[in-house]
Amino acid sequence: MAKIIEHLINGKMVSGAAGRVADVYNPATGEVTKQVALAPKSTVEEAIAAAEAAYPAWRDTPPTKRAQVMFKLKGLMEQNAEKICQLITDEHGKVLNDAMGELGRAIENIDFACGAPQLLKGEHSKNVGPAIDSWSEFQPLGVVAGITPFNFPAMVPAWMWPLAVVCGNTFILKPSERDPSSVMYIAELAQQAGLPAGVLNVVNGDKEAVDTLLNDPRVQAVSFVGSTPIAEYIYSTGTANGKRVQALGGAKNHAIVMPDADLDNAVNALMGAAYGSCGERCMAIPVVVAVGEDTGDALVAKLKAQLEVLKVGPGTDNSNDMGPLINKPHFEKVKGYVDLGVEEGALLVVDGRDLVVEGHENGYFLGGCLFDKVTPNMKIYQDEIFGPVLSIVRVNTQQEAMDLIDAHEYGNGTCIFTRDGEAARYFTDNIKVGMVGVNVPLPVPVAYQSFGGWKRSLFGDLFAYGPDGVRFYTRRKTITQRWPSAGVREGSQFSFPSNK
pLDDT level of residue 469 (50, 70, 90 thresholds): very high
Whether the per-residue pLDDT at 494 is higher than 90: the answer is no
Instruction: Say whether both 263 and 398 belong to one domain.
Output: yes
Q: What is the mean pLDDT of residues 112-133?
A: 91
Burial of 433 (0-12, 13-18, 19+ CB in 10 A): buried
| pLDDT band at residue 497 using 50, 70 and 90 as cut-offs | confident
In a domain, 217, yes or no: yes
* Structural domain boundaries, residue 232: 3-249+457-479
How does DSSP assign 6-61, residue by residue? Answer: -EEETTEEE--SS--EEEEEETTTTEEEEEEE---HHHHHHHHHHHHHHHHHHHTS
Residue 333 has pLDDT above 80, yes or no: yes
In this structure, what DSSP letter does residue 182 have? Answer: H
**What average pLDDT does the chain have?**
95
| Identity of the residue numbered 301 | A
- Which tens digit of pLDDT belongs to each residue from 257-275? 999 999 999 999 999 999 9
pLDDT value of position 488: 67
Confidence class for position 131, pLDDT limits 50, 70, 90: confident
CB 144, CB 222: distance < 8 Å: yes
Tell me the C-alpha distance between 432 and 412, whole Å: 9
Same domain, 38 and 184: yes
What pLDDT sits at residue 499?
Answer: 61
Give how many domains the chain has, as a whole number: 2
CATH at residue 235: 3.40.605.10
DSSP 278: G
Q: Which of 344, 256, 259 is nearest to 293 (CA)?
A: 259
pLDDT digits (tens, 9 = 90+) for 147-205: 999 999 999 999 999 999 999 999 999 999 999 999 999 999 999 999 999 999 999 99
Do residues 332 and 377 lie in contact, with contact meaning Cβ atoms separated by under 8 Å?
Answer: no
The answer as to whether 49 is a domain residue is yes
The DSSP output letter for 276 is: G
Which amino acid does the sequence have at 377? Answer: N
Residue 488 lies in a domain: no
239, 112: one domain: yes
Q: Are 447 and 105 a contacting pair, CB within 8 Å?
A: yes
Task: Taking residues 214-238, report their average pLDDT.
Answer: 98
pLDDT at 496 over 80: no
Q: 153 and 280, same structural domain?
A: no
Q: Which of 12-21, 37-46, 405-414 has the lowest mean pLDDT?
A: 12-21
Residues 6 or more apart from 12 whose CB is under 8 A from it?
197
Residue-wise burial string across 52-74, b where 16 or more C-beta atoms lie within 10 A, e elsewhere: bebbeebbebebeebbebbebbb
Residues recognised as catalytic: 282
Mean pLDDT for 19-41 is 95
Note whether 256 and 416 are within 8 A (CB).
yes
Tell whether 209 and 318 lie within a shared domain. no
What pLDDT shows up at residue 484?
79
Q: What local confidence, expressed as pLDDT, does residue 500 receive?
A: 63
pTM of the predicted model, to two decimals?
Answer: 0.95
Angle at 19 between CA 15 and CA 24, to 5 degrees: 75
Strand, helix or coil for residue 170: strand
Across residues 379-397, what is the average pLDDT? 98
Q: Are residues 299 and 375 in the same domain?
A: yes
Q: 128-132, 166-170, 405-409: which has the minimum mean pLDDT? A: 128-132
Is residue 111 domain-resident?
A: yes
What value does the mean pLDDT take over residues 393-411?
98
- 308 domain residue, yes or no: yes
Residue 490 belongs to some domain of the structure: no
Q: How far apart are CA 440 and CA 255, in angstroms?
A: 10
Q: How many CA atoms lie within 13 A of 110 on its CB side?
A: 26
CATH code (residue 309): 3.40.309.10
Give the 3-state secondary structure of residue 84: helix
What is the rounded distance in angstroms from the CA atom of residue 161 to the CA atom of residue 157? 6
- pLDDT of residue 210 exceeding 90, the answer is yes
What is residue 224's three-state secondary structure? Answer: strand
Same domain, 284 and 221: no
Kindly state whether residues 165 and 300 are assigned to the same domain.
Answer: no
Say whether both 175 and 318 belong to one domain: no
- Based on the fold, state whether residues 113 and 217 are members of the same structural domain: yes
Inside any domain, residue 277: yes
In a domain, 485, yes or no: no
- Residues 228 and 347 reside in one and the same domain: no
The whole-number average pLDDT for the span 435-440 is: 97
Least confident range from 124-138, 252-266, 476-490: namely 476-490
Same domain, 26 and 168: yes
Predicted local confidence at residue 493, as pLDDT: 73
The answer to whether residue 229 scores a pLDDT higher than 70 is: yes
Give CA angle at 270 (266, 275), nearest 5°.
160
